[in-house]
Amino acid sequence: MTTARKPIRIDFCDYGPGYSKTNNFFYNVLKQRFDIEVTDQPDYVIYATPGGHLHRLYNCVRIYFGIESFPPDWSECDYAMTCHYLQDPRHLRLPYYALYGNTRYLDKQRDDPEAILRAKSRFCGFVVSNAGKRKTQKRVDFFHRLSRYKRVDSAGRAFNNIGGPLPIQASAKLNFLKTCKFNIAFENASLPGYTTEKLLEAMWARSLPIYWGNPRIQEEFNPASFLNYFDFADEEALIERIIELDQDDAKYLEVMRRPYCHHNQPNEFFNPDRVLDFFEQIFTTPIRPVAQRRRLFSFGRWLLVKRNKPHGP
């Protein structure tokens, strides 16, 4: 006898342009266990960063998903999923890279490292559009410093030297990185737990990642399979190691043969059951939503609606 699936009325907001409410990570995971109805009068709303305003218009249970490193604001949300290590039953640690959950691309068992190396026509790749000094000076400085040794091909909008930026499709970046022996995979910031898709994309492309960002990254991926900035005494020592691997194919291949995952098994954050169990808790725990505990001035709501109302006919 088939057990009836719990119906869930849900909505999504404050995502970027082009976001599909019926074809995204959360919708696709939740529909494995629940009957999902996307509606503008939901019982639950999942909203994302960078900051938006539409979620403030919902009086239902608000669930915050932190795409970047911003922590949850418990005065605005009832539950949260972020990269942070928080000991709170309302919170699920869900690093952004886990949404890029096709783990079969992390499995090296069928790789031919020599053939992969022969296909490398570039020394190092760099794909960055945001090069503002306030947040990204670390990777900008490293790009220029490594370029003193050998040309680093920059394929983003910042410091582009390949004749124009890559198309925005992820496949274009992966195809570019497949031609690069190394990839500068630096995050926007260095915070415990903050790891985006940058490391995974280099791994998928079999471009040896040069990683800076999450100081606890070795807990989630095998640090012997990439160059972890934090494993070196200083930047000079890291660059010396890059040069050593670049000039010695045997040493480069030794690193490339090492599994990306501890015990060659993807870490727990790729497991969709963690997400489903967290939502099971949300959907079965009656609460008074934070939005109903705070009375918002109606004029402010009108301004929010006006701010987010599309222009034109």
Residue 94: give its domain's CATH number. 3.40.50.11650
Instruction: Indicate whether 22 and 72 sit together in one domain.
Output: yes
Instruction: Indicate whether 168 and 203 sit together in one domain.
Output: yes
Instruction: Indicate whether 75 and 118 sit together in one domain.
Output: no
Residue 28 lies in a domain: yes
The whole-angstrom separation of Cα 290 and Cα 294 is 7
Instruction: Indicate whether 169 and 63 sit together in one domain.
Output: no
Strand order in the sheet with 152-154: 152-154, 122-126, 180-186, 208-212, 227-228
Domain span at residue 59 reads 7-99+269-308
Instruction: Indicate whether 39 and 137 sit together in one domain.
Output: no
Residue 52 lies in a domain: yes
Instruction: Indicate whether 241 and 208 sit together in one domain.
Output: yes
Residue type, position 186, single letter: F
Residue 39 lies in a domain: yes
Residue 313 lies in a domain: no
Residue 138 lies in a domain: yes
Looking up tokens 């907001």, which residue turns up? 13
Instruction: Indicate whether 145 and 57 sit together in one domain.
Output: no
Instruction: Indicate whether 134 and 246 sit together in one domain.
Output: yes
Residue 2 lies in a domain: no
Structural domains counted in the chain? 2
CATH number, domain containing residue 116: 3.40.50.11660
Residue 263 lies in a domain: no
Tokens of 127: 């794909």
Instruction: Indicate whether 12 and 79 sit together in one domain.
Output: yes
Q: What is the mean pLDDT of each run of 10 residues along the chain (313 residues)?
A: 80 89 96 96 90 88 93 95 97 95 89 97 93 78 97 95 91 96 95 96 97 97 98 98 98 98 95 97 96 62 49 37
Instruction: Indicate whether 154 and 241 sit together in one domain.
Output: yes
pLDDT at 306: 44
The whole-angstrom separation of Cα 135 and Cα 228 is 20
pLDDT at 164: 94
Residue 24 lies in a domain: yes
Instruction: Indicate whether 116 and 246 sit together in one domain.
Output: yes
pLDDT at 294: 60
Residues sharing a CB contact under 8 Å with residue 94, sequence separation 6 or more, in sequence order: 65, 81, 82, 83, 269, 274, 275
Instruction: Indicate whether 176 and 44 sit together in one domain.
Output: no
Asked if the bond preceding 50 is cis, omega within 30° of 0, the reply is yes
